Amino acid sequence: MALELSDLDRELAGGARGGAAAFAMRLLMRLAEAVDARAFIAIEQAHVDGCLYLGQASLDFVERMTALGGKVRVPTSLNVGSLDLIHPELFRGSDEVRVNGKRLMQAHIELGCAPTFTCAPYQTAHRPRFGAQIAWGESNAIVFANSVIGARTNRYGDFIDLCCAITGRAPEYGLHLTENRFARAVVQIDAVPPGWDMERLCVAVGHFVGRRCGGLIPAIVGLPADADEDNLKALGAAAASSGAVALFHAVGLTPEAQDLKTACGGLKPKLVLRLSADDLRDAARSLSNVRDGAPLAAVTLGTPHFSMSEFARLMPLLDGPRPVVDIWINCSRATLEELRARGWEERLSSAGLTLVVDTCVYVTTLMRVGAGAVMTNSGKCAYYAPGNLGVEVAYGSLAECVASARAGKVVRL
């Protein structure tokens, strides 16, 4: 299929809109050819995942864009970087990452990106509308935008997401197209272990879906009607981490899944899975690689970034003895401002908790981890932290994380 270019596409590629736009557009044209896209579409916004310093190449690419006079053409938010620019004293990594990580974050700002530095842009003013064509990086943001909001984006990786932002264009393929958004796998929840809360259920379902559905879009049947956005955020983040999920449908909950027939678009599923209570227990258990009662070194919360609703659930749990191990909470700048406005920042600090913005403890060196495991309520963090941080991990509910921090060991409630 020949790639059709509009007059704007030709202007961008030919340099009429600047050198950076021309460079970006030519890269997008190569991508479009590789994925057999038929044309380009206009996007309403972008979310760029490339501001985390992963080596000189990441800095070279962005600084070339700034040298060419590049500016983003659509509203563009930024994913986490390597540093907490609000609390720089927390960073414990190398001087190379400290210096170049900051340069990389600032270079994106020079391109006109908003300094959001959050993996949860959907919980900020940058939340897209239903049906919006967008170009987002960051796996959990992508799956949330597609699934919970009903915006449309493919999984755009580093550099390509920035090219889309600078041109305001994206190849028309994949999840931008209605015919590619229907579920081809059905996951039926038959039973839930007694006593489980919604948080644990959604993480376990997400982890199961990621491991078992492959590249198929799943329609999940049987999630309780009171699953909220934070629960669905946790489900999507776990599914995108353990698998390649960029879109799921929760029947009766998400906007493109009023019922199973709508979610599947009338197509016969290629895969049907049934989830028993034992399956869910096994999925949750697989996220821990230490035994119950194991010594604990730290607790980390907020992967993806904690919302105000999650902080509201945390605050009552702080009543009681001070934790004996560090609790780290990752959140956005916007959330930090609201915490300060409510007077909650001081309460969290006095309880011995450390707030981290602009980054996340599982992607950069912040935590002081000695002997013992790291505990988290995040399926995403539990999946990645052993490889990223070289630590043993315990997964548990929010209440179990706080109780374990007080006990100094992994506690189950």
Taking residues 287-308, report their average pLDDT: 96
* Distance separating alpha carbons of residues 159 and 61, to the nearest angstrom: 8
**pLDDT per position as a tens digit, 378-408:** 999 999 999 988 899 999 999 999 999 999 9
Per-residue pLDDT for 54 more than 90?
A: yes
81, 53 contact by CB (below 8 A):
yes
What's the CATH code, domain 182-285?
Answer: 3.40.1060
What is the pLDDT confidence band of residue 241, given thresholds at 50, 70 and 90?
very high
* Distance separating alpha carbons of residues 364 and 353, to the nearest angstrom: 18
User: Per CATH, which fold does 7-178 belong to?
Assistant: Aconitase; domain 3 (3.30.499)
**pLDDT per position as a tens digit, 321-368:** 999 999 999 999 999 999 999 999 999 999 999 999 999 998 888 887
**pLDDT value at residue 1:** 65
**pLDDT per position as a tens digit, 148-157:** 999 999 999 9
**pLDDT per position as a tens digit, 255-286:** 999 999 999 999 999 999 999 999 999 999 99
Q: Could you tell me the two tokens for 38?
A: 């038929």
Q: Domain ranges in the chain?
A: 7-178, 182-285, 296-407
47, 79 contact by CB (below 8 A):
yes
Is the alpha carbon torsion for 351, 357, 363, 367 positive or negative?
negative
Q: Do domains 7-178 and 296-407 have the same CATH topology?
A: yes
**pLDDT per position as a tens digit, 86-103:** 999 999 999 999 999 999
**pLDDT value at residue 371:** 78
Per-residue pLDDT for 172 more than 90?
A: yes
* Distance separating alpha carbons of residues 411 and 201, to the nearest angstrom: 18
Please tell me the class of the 296-407 domain: alpha beta
CA distance readout (Å), 113 to 25, 69, 108, 154, 230: 18, 14, 6, 20, 26
